[in-house]
């Protein structure tokens, strides 16, 4: 179960860190945000080392649908009403700068990464939302228009269309930009103490530290776990599907994402909050919809992605916390990881180099207002629910009740355990408590994984960590 990007290009392996080093800037995470930040800083003459727990682009960068766009859902009427005209206009402008910067790097460094300009469409079943977005786009003078029809046969009330957006192959791009960077693979940062990063391979002393590791894993300070959650979505790649001209996404839950890559069509959807797929069937429903929309097509790959969603829908880019002036963070990109990675690289480069960035203010992670309270309360409520399940719910099944190929929470010698019974009947039992902050994990039957409903950490059925903020594997049960 791997994405088409992974098969389209190989990235050479890098050495792990061996012993202690000292650098100007250490970047945690070799995904798109980390690599672009390191690339931007190195171009300004900074000495940078990237520390990656696994391989380059082994996280969400390989699972994206790789759209580069200023159209982040029907966001502009929300930004206008929440933050005002200047901030909404600046949000569009900085994301346009990100598209332009991709284009500049690709031309300057002569990168073959299948970069193509495309129109972007956000469709909706809600005509009121479309009307509001159209008015906002007009007020902000964005290159957008309302269209009644979209280039794929999905019923809707219309869409907002943006011209001159882009799509590409993220693995080909990241392979090229990472080529001349110092990157230590298989080097997991276990803790950060002041200016020292403690890894499983040695310590790194750095004047500046950038957390570009998808979900910031240091809980205090920052409290990112209280103001961000994670969502999963699923993608299938189809051959013999009628091509679509453009990048199409729906605005509501239950809608779909469509783009072409060469002769393949990438069809995504079935999104849900991480830890809330206990009934499964996401891929099956997506396949059923694909055969309705693209008759005669054939699936060649399928994979899933995980996104961090902030309380107000705007990424967190900037100082990690006021008490840690040399720590920086880039997270909460929603479904717009490629564009926001470039935005964060430009902002963090300027902050670290002491250059004023006119867009940094709107992304500052320290922003907080009374308007955030309901969303933050919702995040906390989810965490409390996950924690109380650990304490109060009663184990419902015995190991013998679990069928081969299925998983569930059972009582093993009087204690709750997560059990997966493989097709041969072998039992894989793990501790069901999330090592991040102790919530009870839920079984995800589509991906044979244990997923945390609180902040989105994930583990395979053997307990190996798949997605942070947790940093450790689950304990095995004998």
| Contact residues: ligand FES, CB under 6 A | 225, 434, 436-439, 452, 454-457, 469-470
Between residues 352 and 452, which has the closer beta carbon with respect to ligand FES? Answer: 452
Both tokens of residue 96? 């346009």
Taking a C-beta distance cutoff of 8 angstroms, is the pair 200, 40 a contact? Answer: no
Residue of 163, 173, 151, 342 lying closest to 249 (CA atoms)? 151
Between residues 318 and 456, which has the closer beta carbon with respect to ligand FES? Answer: 456
Q: Where are the beta strands (DSSP E) in 151-297?
A: 159-167, 182-184, 189-193, 196-199, 203-211, 228-239, 247-250, 257-261, 264-273
**H or E stretch covering 99:** helix 85-108
Helix (H, G, I), strand (E, B) or coil at 155: coil
Between residues 67 and 436, which has the closer beta carbon with respect to ligand FES? Answer: 436
Both tokens of residue 393? 């719910």
Q: How far is the CB of 452 from ligand FES (least distance, A)?
A: 3
Between residues 124 and 304, which has the closer beta carbon with respect to ligand FES? Answer: 304
**H or E stretch covering 461:** none
Q: How far is the CB of 185 from ligand FES (least distance, A)?
A: 24
∠ CA(68), CA(72), CA(74), 5° rounding? 145
- Residues, the chain, total? 478
Between residues 74 and 439, which has the closer beta carbon with respect to ligand FES? Answer: 439
Residue of 301, 258, 299 lying closest to 8 (CA atoms)? 301
Both tokens of residue 220? 């205090």
Q: How far is the CB of 453 from ligand FES (least distance, A)?
A: 8
Q: How far is the CB of 448 from ligand FES (least distance, A)?
A: 18
DSSP H helical ranges for 49-84 = 76-83
How far apart CA 140 and CA 214 sit, in angstroms, is: 31
Taking a C-beta distance cutoff of 8 angstroms, is the pair 51, 184 a contact? Answer: yes
How far apart CA 371 and CA 128 sit, in angstroms, is: 23
Residue 363, classified by CB atoms within 10 Å of its CB into exposed (0-12), middle (13-18) or buried (19+), is buried
List beta partners, residue 302.
236
How far apart CA 98 and CA 420 sit, in angstroms, is: 44
Between residues 186 and 380, which has the closer beta carbon with respect to ligand FES? Answer: 380
Between residues 315 and 469, which has the closer beta carbon with respect to ligand FES? Answer: 469
Asked if the peptide bond before residue 221 counts as cis, ω within 30 degrees of 0, the response is yes
Between residues 133 and 467, which has the closer beta carbon with respect to ligand FES? Answer: 467
Between residues 319 and 455, which has the closer beta carbon with respect to ligand FES? Answer: 455
Between residues 57 and 308, which has the closer beta carbon with respect to ligand FES? Answer: 308
Q: How far is the CB of 446 from ligand FES (least distance, A)?
A: 19
Q: How far is the CB of 470 from ligand FES (least distance, A)?
A: 5
Q: How far is the CB of 468 from ligand FES (least distance, A)?
A: 8
How far apart CA 422 and CA 398 sit, in angstroms, is: 16
Q: How far is the CB of 245 from ligand FES (least distance, A)?
A: 40
Q: How far is the CB of 182 from ligand FES (least distance, A)?
A: 31
Q: How far is the CB of 392 from ligand FES (least distance, A)?
A: 16
């Amino acid at each position: 179960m791997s994405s088409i990007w992974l098969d389209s290009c190989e990235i050479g392996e890098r050495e792990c860190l061996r012993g202690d080093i000292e650098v100007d800037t250490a970047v945690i995470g070799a995904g798109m945000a980390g690599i672009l930040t390191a690339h931007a800083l190195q171009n300004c003459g900074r000495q940078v080392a990237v520390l990656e727990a696994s391989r380059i682009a082994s996280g969400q960068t390989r699972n994206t649908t790789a759209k580069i766009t200023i159209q982040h859902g029907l966001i502009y009427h929300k930004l206008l009403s929440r933050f005002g005209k200047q901030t909404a206009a600046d949000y569009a402008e900085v994301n346009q700068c990100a598209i332009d910067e991709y284009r500049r790097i690709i031309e300057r460094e002569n990168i073959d990464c299948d970069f193509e300009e495309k129109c972007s469409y956000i469709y909706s079943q809600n005509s009121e939302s479309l009307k509001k977005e159209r008015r906002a786009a007009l007020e902000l003078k964005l290159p957008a228009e309302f269209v009644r029809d979209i280039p794929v046969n999905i019923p809707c009330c219309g869409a907002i269309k943006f011209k001159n957006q882009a799509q590409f192959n993220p693995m080909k791009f990241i392979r090229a930009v990472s080529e001349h960077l110092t990157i230590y693979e298989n080097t997991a940062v276990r803790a950060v103490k002041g200016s020292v990063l403690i890894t499983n391979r040695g310590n790194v002393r750095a004047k500046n530290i950038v957390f570009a590791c998808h979900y910031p894993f240091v809980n205090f300070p920052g409290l990112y776990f209280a103001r961000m959650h994670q969502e999963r979505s699923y993608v299938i790649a189809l051959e013999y599907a009628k091509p679509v001209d453009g990048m199409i996404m729906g605005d509501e839950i239950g809608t779909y994402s469509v783009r072409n890559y060469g002769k393949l069509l990438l069809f995504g959807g079935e999104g849900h909050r991480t830890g809330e797929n206990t009934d499964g069937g996401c891929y099956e429903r997506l396949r059923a919809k694909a055969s309705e929309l693209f008759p005669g097509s054939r699936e060649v790959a399928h994979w899933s992605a995980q996104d961090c969603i902030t309380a107000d829908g705007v990424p967190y880019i900037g100082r990690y916390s006021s008490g840690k002036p040399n720590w920086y963070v880039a997270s909460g990109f929603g479904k717009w990881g490629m564009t926001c990675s470039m935005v964060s690289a430009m902002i963090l480069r300027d902050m670290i180099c002491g250059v004023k960035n006119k867009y940094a203010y709107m992304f500052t992670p320290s922003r907080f207002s009374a308007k955030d309270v309901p969303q933050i309360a919702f995040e906390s409520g989810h965490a409390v629910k996950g924690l109380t399940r650990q304490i109060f719910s009663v184990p419902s099944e015995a190991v013998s009740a679990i069928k081969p190929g299925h998983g569930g929470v059972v009582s093993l010698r009087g204690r709750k355990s997560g059990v997966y019974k493989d097709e041969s009947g072998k039992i894989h039992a793990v501790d069901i408590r999330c090592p991040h902050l102790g919530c009870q994990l839920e079984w995800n039957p589509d991906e044979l994984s244990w997923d945390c409903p609180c902040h989105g950490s994930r583990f395979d059925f053997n307990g190996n960590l798949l997605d942070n903020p947790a940093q450790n594997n689950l304990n095995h049960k004998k």
